[in-house]
Amino acid sequence: MSEAGNQGQTMNQGPEYASDVAFTGSVKAVQTRKGSREAYRRMEQSGSWRTRITPDLKDFIERQTSVFLATASAGGQPYVQHRGGPAGFLRALDERTLGFVDLRGNRQYISLGNLAENPKAQLFLIDYSKGQRVKLWGEAFVVEAEDARVRSLIPAGYAARTEQAILFEVHAWDINCSKHIPRRFEAEEVSQMLAQRDRRIESLQAEAEALRARLATAPPPDAIAGPRAARACAGGHPATAD
């Protein structure tokens, strides 16, 4: 099966293009009416969305500390829930699978209930500091706490109670347009930038103190100019010239 978009499959076998997971007939009709269908048709024919986790995507995923998981009930009622943890809590397990531990929260279990009757899901990742966002479509499955895979996904040294893990099978992914993403920074990133600024200020202050110390011990300008002028006059040359 081609990563580029699974062209050539029949409707019985599945979508013709990987992007068909989002570009349904209704969506394509709106694109046609709004004038963007031809551009997306060219995108489909030149490869469509990717279906495997590339090294660059893996790096992006494992830098995230905050992601959003979208699910829907069997009746189509949507639900989006935030998931967070230290960088690396969301992990690429292979070219098609992501995993993360589900930490105890308010215990409503809406996402788990939805996945029990409808495995279709989406992950939405956004890096505010770099102005990047990625959407991943696929199916998600719950792995209970006693499974060894859950223990392997627990972030080291992170103080939270693990209830289960979510495995996400990637069917397609796309990099979103970077327009209108506000620039925000993680508290740790800001702390690092402030620490770097403070070290630079300290270095400049030390240089300024050293310069002041040198100036304090240097002879005044008149004391330097006087002997030079006297030597110039003794040699028969004027001290200054017009």
In 3D space, the residue among 123, 114, 105 whose CA is nearest the CA of residue 164 turns out to be 105
Q: Domain extents for the chain?
A: 1-49, 51-175, 197-234
Q: Which CATH number fits domain 51-175: 2.30.110.10, 3.40.50.1100, 3.30.365.10, 3.40.50.300?
A: 2.30.110.10
The half-sphere exposure of 80 on its side-chain side, counting CA atoms within 13 A, is 7
Residue 116: is its pLDDT beyond 80?
yes
Residue 124: is its pLDDT beyond 90?
yes
Long-range CB pairs of 180-184 (<8 Å, 24+ gap) are 181/126, 181/128, 181/131, 181/132, 181/133, 182/128, 183/128, 183/129, 183/131, 184/128, 184/129
Q: How confident is the model at residue 129 (pLDDT cuts 50, 70, 90)?
A: confident
Q: How confident is the model at residue 137 (pLDDT cuts 50, 70, 90)?
A: very high
Determine the angle formed by the axes of helices 37-45 and 25-34, rounding to 10 degrees. 130
What is the tens place of the pLDDT at every residue in 66-77? 999 999 999 999
Give me the pLDDT at residue 14, please: 58
Residue 237: is its pLDDT beyond 80?
no
Mean pLDDT of 117-144: 93
Q: How confident is the model at residue 224 (pLDDT cuts 50, 70, 90)?
A: low
What is the tens place of the pLDDT at every residue in 168-209? 999 999 997 778 887 887 788 888 889 999 999 999 999 999
d(CA 168, CA 99): 6
Give me the pLDDT at residue 225, please: 62
Give me the pLDDT at residue 12, please: 47
In 3D space, the residue among 52, 73, 79 whose CA is nearest the CA of residue 136 turns out to be 52
Answer for the pair 124, 118: CB distance below 8 angstroms, yes or no: no
